[in-house]
Chains A and B, each alone.
Chain A
């Protein structure tokens, strides 16, 4: 006998867990199926940035709705998730970069988005005293911050279960087929049936889509991060760069997480990644130049989480183009953590009501259909 649910959510990252929670909050019975354990991959081991800054126009509405949830995250999931809001600062390394940032901020204002704010050298120095003297300014998004990724994903998972979702870990989906009005989800631990499916399978989501005859050009990537030993507190906001790849954040415990998108080699079938130390060395040199306070730091760990990157760098959120009752929520292209809470709410709304008030135009899977 197949186990029955209202919705089967495939994938236990922050997106799958958030969607399962919001479905349960709407009174539906979701079953979430995760091949490893919740937060095993990118959702659990990303840099933890909670960032509205520098987002693609298509995803700004999702990002803003997500930020509202982040600001009441403890009420939502029963854990503050280590979220702090010390802002994200995009540092301009030269005047030409700053001029480009000014154009972007002005363009956003015309469109009615006011979360990005241009700052001059003195405000940059006030926000980030440790940054190198030569940087002429930047952009700040003051409500941004950072959270503990694994703790956050686990908190969503736990609250989803408390609200009636079932979470099944260590089980892999092996096939999808129609069964009357339902979808039959075949797995390594028996079958499940539900009228609706949400594909939140991250770096493995193309395999789910392929089962529906809906191939999608997903790249499997694993951006690298490294962390230092504990240092005296010297920086509050998250710092990112545009020209060179860098994200930089000191955690409450004093350790500094250094990322920015240099990629390792992922092996998604064995859950392994092989790091590229020459690229990490580039990050080390960038940090060396920008933050003299880091000259005595030691690197204690480096790692990479496996995730999906779409050709246009923005996620797939919305209905399947081929299969009634199936919804996609993947391909967050190395910036999906902040979007998790809000996108889960939007997806639950879409699944439950058939539409959503938050614009998700331009994010549909049909944009990749063979022409």
Chain B
């Protein structure tokens, strides 16, 4: 196990995040002779899609599916490449001078990086419905993580709700593992199909087409699926039932667990805090970094690869990681041999083909992104949708001013679970666009660090002299 004290003061390349993009990038760069460190905050590599790929207790390959096991090759490749892979390492700061603040085993270090590839991937889109903070309400991704990493499968009365490929994949994996799913509430607006059909020809050629159809068939054969236009989690100390409305009126289902999911969005916190420019992507309804063809950002020397560059899935993430790594190698070691970019780009293009269809089909309904009334928008500070809407009406023009008025986004999650909601609510109330409204200006540490960790930063000679009195 690498300890904080074992880290060098600087590396030519620092890769942040050990999912497909980070693993592929670190492997390629290290093999080209670049001194490379990969920091990942989880106990093992794989990111979310290949979570616990080197340690999963799930033995039957059929449960998680062959796509999951593809991750093993990436992990092996990275391990064999000579890159230093450090798990349990939380990167809490990155700035435009490419100084990386990282904590490891309760100790902090500042590491200089020649180049940085941010591969922090995606997170599930906020799903602000009434009662979404109650114990017993989790994300579908959470249940999938528990299955992959700990072999925990849902056992009680379980309802899945939302839209998007991951919802159906989790349902299939859960059923294969012998788990229980009482119902799926499909929130996909019917009219999404109209928009999506325009992109069907491309999607039909993409690898996701056949897989998607097979998943839907597998799940629908075993679980009742209801359309839902509104969903509410009801309970006081924990969720007791889920109330939803659809074509057949309002229905109630008793539940022990309600799993929510309406797609994934880039995890922007680290890039945003480093000063990377972002822009609103209206098809994916999220902010994405502004990037060049090699995934270089607006900050020199910092690239963003993988789903953090805009959602495209795990296989595409690895290819993006390779392209970003090739750019880093070329900048750091122009003489080094690197793979042919053309072939990588062709594979990437094929992976990205079906994206427009999926984005249009799975675009969450306004009612599940723009909450009303007492529904909580900011989970940390317990700020309601009504408070955000009223403050916007009173003249608050942006999320940074909103922070000062309501403290939304100022809790420990740093806006990860409210940022998009607050931006979209302000845009709706002020009759403007999310791009105009903008996003929170995020401040480091992007993950909280203990005072003890900060105090543990090694004192440089200059600082030691400065404090001697």
Contacts and interface: CB of A to CB of B under 8 A. Distances in A.
A–B contact via C-beta, under 8 angstroms:
yes
Interface of A: 37, 39, 44, 148, 150-151, 154, 228-229, 243-244, 253, 272, 274-275, 277-282, 284-285, 287-288, 294-303
Contact of A278 (B95, B97, B404, B457): B457
B101 A277 contact: yes
Interface string B95-137: 1110101000000101000000000000000000000000000
A245 to B, nearest CB: 10
Contact of A275 (B398, B444, B451, B469): B444
B350 interface: no
Given A150-B404, A275-B444, A299-B454, 8 more contacts: A154-B404, A274-B96, A275-B95, A277-B457, A284-B451, A284-B457, A299-B450, A301-B443
B463 A279 contact: yes
Contacts of B414: 300-301
Nearest to A285: B455
A278 B450 contact: no
B93 A275 contact: yes
Contacts, number: 93
A229 B448 contact: yes
B293 interface: no
B469 A243 contact: yes
Contacts of A244: 467, 469
Contact of A295 (B443, B444, B452): B452
Interface string B42-67: 00000000000000000000000000
A287 B455 CA distance: 9
Contacts of B450: 296-299
Contacts of A284: 451, 454-455, 457
A295 B108 CA distance: 15
A296 B106 CA distance: 12
B335 interface: no
Contacts of B93: 275, 277
B379 to A, nearest CB: 14
B107 to A, nearest CB: 12
A274 B97 contact: yes
Contacts of A281: 108, 454-457, 459
A303 B455 CA distance: 17
A119 to B, nearest CB: 23
Contacts of A303: 443
Contact of A151 (B99, B404, B410): B404
A341 B323 CA distance: 55
A277 B445 CA distance: 10
Contacts of A228: 451
A299 B110 contact: no
Given A37-B401, A274-B96, A279-B463, A301 B455 contact: no
B445 A288 contact: no
B178 interface: no
- Tell me which of B97, B450, B455, B457 has the highest count of chain A C-beta atoms within 10 A of its own C-beta: B455
B14 to A, nearest CB: 15
A299 B412 contact: no
Contact of B452 (A229, A279, A288): A288
A278 B460 contact: yes
B449 A298 contact: yes
Q: What 6 A-B pairs are tightest by C-beta distance, nearest first?
A: A150-B404, A281-B457, A284-B454, A284-B455, A298-B448, A301-B443
Contacts of A300: 410-412, 414, 445, 448
B290 to A, nearest CB: 15
B414 to A, nearest CB: 7
